[in-house]
Structure 1
Amino acid sequence: MKVAGFGFRDGAPLVALRAALGLVEQAGGPATALATATSKAGAAALSALAIERGLVVLAVPVAGVATPTRSPRVQAMFGTGSVAEAAALSGAGPDATLIVGRMTSPDGMATCAMALSNGAHP
């Protein structure tokens, strides 16, 4: 399973999430699921993207997930260095590998990363 993890600002438009996903999929191939922090999972734009792509949104814990990218602001707010990277890793399962690091939409409103599941994951 290839999970595209998202971080985004409140009110991020669908076009921003779509653009960030496009960048990540260019590098890592098509996503089979979307994921984000539990607190962001109900966002309208992410739900719209999931419907558009026929994918599920996984609401996952991100606090404490180690990421290659480290933003002090994000660390203080979410307990991880990158919500997108942490969501991708958490959504893909305990033995996941990050295959595409955080990429940012052109408008700066959304980030996306991709992780590959290395084993069975529901």
Structure 2
Amino acid sequence: MMVAGIGSRKGVSVEDVLAAIETAVEAHGLTMTALSALATVPLKQDEKAILAAGHQLDLPVIVADAAAIAASASATISRSSLSQDLSGTPSVSEASALAVAGKGARLLGPRTVLGPVTCAIAISGDAP
């Protein structure tokens, strides 16, 4: 399972979200079809652009629960004090990707920042 975790400022556009996902996917030499799901944190569960991006990509948008986010926070590569203060994790995109990808998941690299959106790609632990 390959998951794109999404973090954003409030009120971003779907174009911003899609561009960040595409940039992150391409940075790892992948294509959009490699993704299994989009992920985010409870704070972003009503962010229309993230939900719309999932719809346009025909991917589920999974809101990781707080316990899974907390468990994944120590494995994030990027650290943002603002993210920590607002969401309880040093990287919304990285922690949500890891949480949704499941036990043994790993990040393919640090989050990609594109304007007001961050995107991180995690792969499940059962993948080669």
Q: Once the two structures are aligned, what percentage of the paired residues are identical?
A: 37
More helix by share: 2
Q: Structure 1: 5+ residue runs without aligned partners?
A: none
Q: Does 1:39 align with 2:46?
A: no
CA offsets 1:21-46 (integer angstroms, 9 cap, x no match): 01111023232100000221221111
Letter in structure 2 aligned against 1:46: I
**Structure 1 segments (4+ residues) deviating >6 Å:** none
Normalised by the length of structure 1, the TM-score is 0.89
Aligned length: 118
Normalised by the length of structure 2, the TM-score is 0.85
The corresponding residue for 1:119 is: 126
| Separation in structure 2 between the aligned mates of residue 51 and residue 79 of structure 1, nearest angstrom | 27
Q: Structure 2: 5+ residue runs without aligned partners?
A: none
When the two chains are superposed, the root-mean-square deviation of aligned CA atoms in Å is 1.5
Aligned 8 A contact 1:63 1:78 in 2: no
Letter in structure 2 aligned against 1:38: P
**Greater Cα shift, 62-71 or 86-95:** 62-71
Q: Does 1:98 align with 2:114?
A: no
Aligned 8 A contact 1:27 1:100 in 2: no
Matching of residues 66-77 of structure 1 within 5 Å? 66=74, 67-77=76-86
Indicate which of 82, 90, 113 corresponds to 2:91: 82
Matching of residues 8-19 of structure 1 within 5 Å? 8-19=8-19
Deviation at 1:12, TM superposition (A): 0.8
More strand by share: 1
Letter in structure 2 aligned against 1:119: D
